């Protein structure tokens, strides 16, 4: 058995596409009859959209007008509206896919983080939401309805470019690792640290330094696993449709050496040598606390993924380099790259989050196919894909394979970082 998302695969749409706008109109028309006097208009001008959505020179975006219970939509931006916003397509995409729900604390936190990532490229709204609380509530429902259906930009190279990740992609190809600086705020680090220590509380001193299966242990871990920069690098190395391999936190006290020597992250999957020349697994390590100097940082052997083998027995850390991570940074590496830990010499404890991702045919360490439906439904499609709910593996019935998911995976380009959509089917 597996969890069936409430939103069907055929209901998913790309942000600001013609299909997305049609779903916007359909939703509003189904509700506006109950608001006969409602009047409001909004528009977005989206710079740098994916070429497959806008191949011409015309401004790209959308406009929606509600008047006297009717709804009109237009596939271009207009400024003569009640609420207008202009910004970069990819910078605004995560804010389009976040499901706000009824928790104002969550909304404040996630909007702050996505605005932090966007810097000033998401743009500031001009105008205001309607004063009528019922109409404002309807627009909130519309947002969440669309967010549950909004796909990530399938053009991975386009995301890499417009998130400014080109140097990180180059570093992955050269050394096998990179560091995403200033990837989350101090406020977010505090929230992550508090949740981590809550999960670790009450353990004996000699108990495990890990807490695992995080996607079932709180919404903040769900947010972290779909960090836009991280999932873009994962898609680049592993192809679209990749899975969450493992999600865990580590609390490291003085003298503790969690991973002495060197290892590759392929060890748990018993990958036969020589490793394939494409990446099977990649790891993101969040520096919730300082990862520098005496704090017990990670060491790595640059370029060692090209060895295409496990670390030979008896190999020391000689020739490795230290990954210096300031708080708020995320290290990301190719899973075949040799790396290890160093003992913590500083006082106090160091907290970190480790999210590992795997190619869609690699069996993960953690299993989320039966994750609670409530968790799935408060997240965008990228989350259910990571949980393994959108591919056909393990979902055959007595009448054969799950052909709906086989088709979806093919159209979505699962396993590939280049090409997307119908081009993969030769259509």
Distance, CA of 122 to CA of 145 (rounded, Å) = 21
Exposure string of 85-108, with b = 16+ CB inside 10 Å and e = fewer, is bbbbbbbbbbbbbbbbeeeeebee
Distance, CA of 191 to CA of 249 (rounded, Å) = 13
For residues 321, 326, 332 and 336, what is the CA-based torsion angle, rounded to 10 degrees? 30
Domains 9-151 and 156-412 fall in the same CATH topology:
no
CATH class of this structure's domain 9-151: alpha beta
> What CATH number matches the domain at 156-412, 2.70.98.10, 3.40.50.2300, 2.60.120.620, 3.30.70.920?
2.60.120.620
List per-residue pLDDT tens for the chain, 427 residues long. Answer: 899 999 999 999 999 999 999 999 999 999 988 888 889 999 999 999 999 998 778 999 999 999 988 999 999 999 999 999 999 999 999 999 999 999 999 999 999 999 999 999 999 999 999 999 999 999 999 999 999 999 999 999 999 999 999 999 999 999 999 999 999 999 999 999 999 999 988 776 655 588 999 999 999 999 999 999 999 999 999 999 999 999 999 998 887 777 778 999 999 899 999 999 999 999 999 999 998 888 788 999 999 999 999 999 989 999 999 999 999 999 999 999 999 988 888 888 889 999 999 999 999 999 999 999 999 999 999 999 999 999 999 999 888 999 999 999 999 999 998 865 544 444 3
pLDDT at 208: 58
Distance, CA of 76 to CA of 70 (rounded, Å) = 19
pLDDT at 419: 66
Q: What is the length of the chain?
A: 427
pLDDT at 207: 57
pLDDT at 206: 57
The Cβ-side half-sphere exposure at 163, using a 13 Å CA radius, reads 30
Dihedral of alpha carbons 249, 282, 156, 176, sign: positive
| pTM exceeds 0.85 | yes
Distance, CA of 371 to CA of 349 (rounded, Å) = 31
pLDDT at 87: 98
pLDDT at 417: 86
User: How many other CB atoms are found less than 10 A from the CB of residue 237?
Assistant: 25
What does the DSSP 8-state code read for residue 392?
A: -
pLDDT at 54: 87
Q: Domain residues of the chain, as ranges?
A: 9-151, 156-412
């Amino acid at each position: 058995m597996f969890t069936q998302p409430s939103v069907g695969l055929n209901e998913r749409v790309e942000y600001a596409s013609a299909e997305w706008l049609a779903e916007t109109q359909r939703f509003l028309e189904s509700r506006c009859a109950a608001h006969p006097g409602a009047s409001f208009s909004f528009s977005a001008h989206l710079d740098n959209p994916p070429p497959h959505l806008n191949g011409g020179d015309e401004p790209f975006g959308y406009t929606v007008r509600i008047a006297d219970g009717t709804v009109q939509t237009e596939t271009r931006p207009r400024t003569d509206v009640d609420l207008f916003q202009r910004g970069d397509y990819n910078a605004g995409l995560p804010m389009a896919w976040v499901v706000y729900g009824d928790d104002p604390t969550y909304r404040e936190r996630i909007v702050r983080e996505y605005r932090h990532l966007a810097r000033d490229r998401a743009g500031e709204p001009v105008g205001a939401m309607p004063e009528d609380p019922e109409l404002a509530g309807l627009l909130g429902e519309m947002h969440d309805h669309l967010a549950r259906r909004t796909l990530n930009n399938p053009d991975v190279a386009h995301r890499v470019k417009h998130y400014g990740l080109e140097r990180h992609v180059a570093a992955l190809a050269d050394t096998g690792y990179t560091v995403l600086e200033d990837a989350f705020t101090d406020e977010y680090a505090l929230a992550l640290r508090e949740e981590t220590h809550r999960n670790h509380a009450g353990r004996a001193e000699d108990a495990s330094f890990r807490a695992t299966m995080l996607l079932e242990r709180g919404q903040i871990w769900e947010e972290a696993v779909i960090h836009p920069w991280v999932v873009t690098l994962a898609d680049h190395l592993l192809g679209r449709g990749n899975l969450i391999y493992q999600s865990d936190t580590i609390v490291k006290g003085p003298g503790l050496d969690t991973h002495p020597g060197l290892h590759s992250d392929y060890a748990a999957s018993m990958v036969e040598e020589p490793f394939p020349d494409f990446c099977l697994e990649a790891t993101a390590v969040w520096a919730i606390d300082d990862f520098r100097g005496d704090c017990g940082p990670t060491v790595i052997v640059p370029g060692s993924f090209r060895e295409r083998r496990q670390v030979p027995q008896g190999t020391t850390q000689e020739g490795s380099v230290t990954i210096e991570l300031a708080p708020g940074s995320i290290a990301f590496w190719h899973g075949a790259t040799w790396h290890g830990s160093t003992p913590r010499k500083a006082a106090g404890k160091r907290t970190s989050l480790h999210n590992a991702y795997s190619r869609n045919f690699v069996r993960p360490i953690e299993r989320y196919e039966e994750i609670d439906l409530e968790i799935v439904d408060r997240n965008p499609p990228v989350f259910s894909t990571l949980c393994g709910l959108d591919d056909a593996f393990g979902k055959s019935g007595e009448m054969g394979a799950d052909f709906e998911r086989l088709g979806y995976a093919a159209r979505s380009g699962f396993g590939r970082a280049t090409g997307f959509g119908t081009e993969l089917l030769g259509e």
